């Protein structure tokens, strides 16, 4: 079996240790390994580090490799005596050759062969990370420690579930970046448009029109919805898809787990998704409020406010610049979590995006059903809250929760409007009694 859960042991490699000996030791521990794998080991062993007394020299290509793989490093660390000028010149002059050969062999090798190289990780990188953390700003260090404590929970090993097995099969023998792109984009399209279907059905049911928030303003006509659908679809393919293409390399750089199993426990996923909701809501509040300022509103955000009585499919009917700005808040939470904690899985990110799409479409649905989220979840924004923003073009800038508008006083007109509507309803009921 080419792949082994046990990392290759390179203990006792102090002193001069030629690459050929590392290669031979790897062959002994993995007798069934393919020649391609041992070739990768041989190439990777040329990325060396000398460390003696106060002198330290590290190959520059080593850092480039670390930037590619994020938290997974594919370098074999060797210790040598202090190098001579000749050896330094030799390593410097051949670094590009070794690096190019390693990159080519690594990406052209089989997935399991690449995984074998990733298993050749020594404790040197962890020690360097600890040293860097100790030298970091105290506030960042405290944040890192808190997130690490919350996310690094020990989970006993269990056999992969059916879903985890299917997840592995998606990536097996395929380009991880392309599979990630397909998962992100297809998930977004299916969830977004499927979430709109219940509201399209409600539009055709007279019995449900009593739950329509703006009874006198009818903009959810078939013609308007078709116009919005075409625009949103073009926006998805020509603006959002290019953004999603760049997600995989950025996620890997920040240390996100992509194809690995087991999945994180549901409790951890729930905690992380809640943190993303809080972060995105705060980011969205200020970004959205800024988009209502003068030229930003006129040239960017006004397009989204074309509909004063919004409907579900119009949730992402927006200028490309607005899509980029507000999308940063959606994906920024997971990336920052990775940056500080180093513990996040792609499945959690997909879960977060799914729930975020549910929230966005509901907020623009134009319906306030008894079962709507804000009627049973205290503090939730919902359609009733966001619909006023489209109707009045002011107040209620937050997206998921109501607390930022309350804290910063941007809900006063909305509260006055609710009091006025409640008084009108009370007067109507009083007339019915008489």
Per-residue pLDDT reduced to its tens digit, 38-59: 334 333 443 333 333 222 333 3
Helices 60-69 & 247-254 angle (0-180, nearest 10): 110
Tens digits of residue pLDDT in 119-131:
554 454 555 555 5
| Dist. CA 240–CA 234, nearest whole Å | 9
Residue 268 counted as domain residue: yes
Q: Looking at residue 431, what is its pLDDT? A: 78
Using the predicted structure, report yes or no on whether residue 260 has a pLDDT greater than 60: yes
User: Count of residues for the chain?
Assistant: 434
Kindly state whether residues 199 and 126 are assigned to the same domain.
Answer: no
Residue that terminates a domain, selected from 135, 156, 179 = 135
In this structure, are 79 and 221 located in the same domain?
Answer: no
The answer to whether residues 221 and 271 belong to one domain is: yes
At 30 the pLDDT is 60
Domain boundary among 112, 135, 158: 135
For residues 251 and 371, state if they share a domain.
Answer: yes
**Residue closest to 385 by CA, chosen among 374, 393, 369:** 374
Mean pLDDT (whole number) for 259-284: 96
| Distance in angstroms (rounded) separating the CA atoms of residues 100 and 103 | 5
- Residue 1, in any domain of the structure: no
Mean pLDDT of the chain: 76
**Matching residue, tokens 């410097």:** 92
d(CA 198, CA 201): 5
Distance of CA 400 to the CA centre of its chain: 18
Q: Is 148 contained in some domain?
A: no
Mean pLDDT of 170-199: 96
Please tell me whether residues 179 and 47 are part of one structural domain.
no
Q: For residue 128, what pLDDT is reported?
A: 55
* Cβ-contact 397, 288 below 8 angstroms: yes
- Kindly report, residue by residue over 306-324, the tens digit of the pLDDT: 999 999 999 999 999 999 9
Q: How many domains does the chain have?
A: 2
Q: Which residues contact 346 (CB under 8 A, 6 or more apart)?
A: 180, 183, 251, 256, 257, 258, 259
Structural domain includes residue 3: no
For the chain, the 3-state helix, strand and coil shares in percent, each to the nearest 5, are 65, 5, 30
What tokens appear for 265 in the block? Answer: 């426990």
* CA 379-381-382 angle, 5° bins: 130
Distance CA(386)–CA(400), nearest Å, equals 9
Q: Are 342 and 260 in contact (CB under 8 A)?
A: no
Structural domain span for residue 34: 19-135
CA 232 to chain centre: 22
In order of 114, 147, 151, 278, the CA distances from 342 in angstroms are: 21, 9, 9, 19
Mean predicted confidence (pLDDT) in 409-427: 91
How far apart, in whole angstroms, are the C-alpha atoms of residue 307 and residue 305?
5
Q: Which of 28-32, 85-89, 140-144, 228-232 has the lowest mean pLDDT?
A: 85-89
Beta strands in 235-337 (DSSP E): none
Asked if residue 190 and residue 306 are part of one domain, the reply reads: yes
């Amino acid at each position: 079996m080419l792949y082994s859960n046990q990392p290759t042991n390179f203990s006792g490699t102090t002193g001069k240790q030629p690459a050929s000996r590392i290669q031979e030791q790897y062959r002994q521990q993995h007798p069934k390994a393919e020649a391609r794998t041992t070739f990768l080991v041989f190439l990777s062993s040329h990325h060396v580090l000398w460390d003696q007394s106060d002198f330290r020299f590290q190959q520059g290509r080593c850092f480039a490799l670390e930037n590619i793989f994020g938290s997974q490093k594919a370098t074999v660390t060797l210790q040598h005596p202090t190098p001579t000028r000749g050896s330094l010149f030799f390593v410097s002059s051949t670094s590009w050759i070794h690096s190019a050969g390693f990159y080519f062999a690594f990406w052209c090798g089989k997935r399991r062969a690449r995984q074998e190289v990733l298993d050749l990780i020594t404790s040197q990188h962890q020690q360097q990370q600890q040293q860097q953390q100790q030298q970091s700003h105290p506030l960042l260090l405290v944040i890192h420690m808190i997130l690490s404590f919350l996310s690094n929970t020990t989970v006993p090993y269990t056999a992969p579930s059916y879903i985890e097995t299917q997840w592995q099969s998606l990536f097996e023998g395929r380009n991880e970046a392309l599979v990630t792109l397909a998962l992100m984009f297809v998930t977004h399209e299916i969830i977004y448009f499927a979430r709109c279907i219940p509201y399209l059905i409600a539009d055709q049911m007279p019995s449900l029109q009593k739950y329509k928030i703006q009874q006198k303003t009818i903009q959810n006509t078939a013609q308007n919805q078709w116009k919005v659908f075409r625009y949103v679809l073009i926006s998805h393919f020509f603006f959002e898809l290019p953004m999603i293409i760049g997600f995989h390399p950025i996620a890997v750089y920040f240390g996100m787990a992509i194809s690995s199993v087991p999945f994180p426990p549901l409790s951890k996923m729930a905690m992380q998704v809640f943190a993303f909701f809080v972060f995105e809501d705060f980011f969205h509040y200020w970004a959205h409020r800024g988009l209502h300022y003068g030229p930003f509103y006129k040239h960017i955000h006004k397009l989204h406010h074309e509909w004063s009585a919004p409907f579900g499919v119009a949730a992402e009917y927006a200028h490309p610049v607005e899509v980029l700005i507000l999308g940063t808040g959606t994906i920024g939470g997971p990336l920052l979590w990775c940056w500080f904690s180093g513990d996040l899985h792609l499945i959690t990110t997909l879960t977060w995006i799914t729930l975020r799409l549910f929230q966005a479409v509901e907020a623009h649905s134009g319906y306030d059903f008894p079962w709507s989220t804000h009627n049973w979840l205290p503090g939730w924004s919902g359609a009733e809250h966001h619909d006023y923003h489209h109707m009045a073009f002011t107040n209620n800038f937050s997206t998921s929760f109501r607390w930022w508008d309350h804290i910063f006083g941007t809900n006063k007109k909305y509260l006055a409007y609710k009091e006025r509507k409640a008084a009108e309803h009370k007067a109507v009921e009083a007339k019915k009694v008489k």
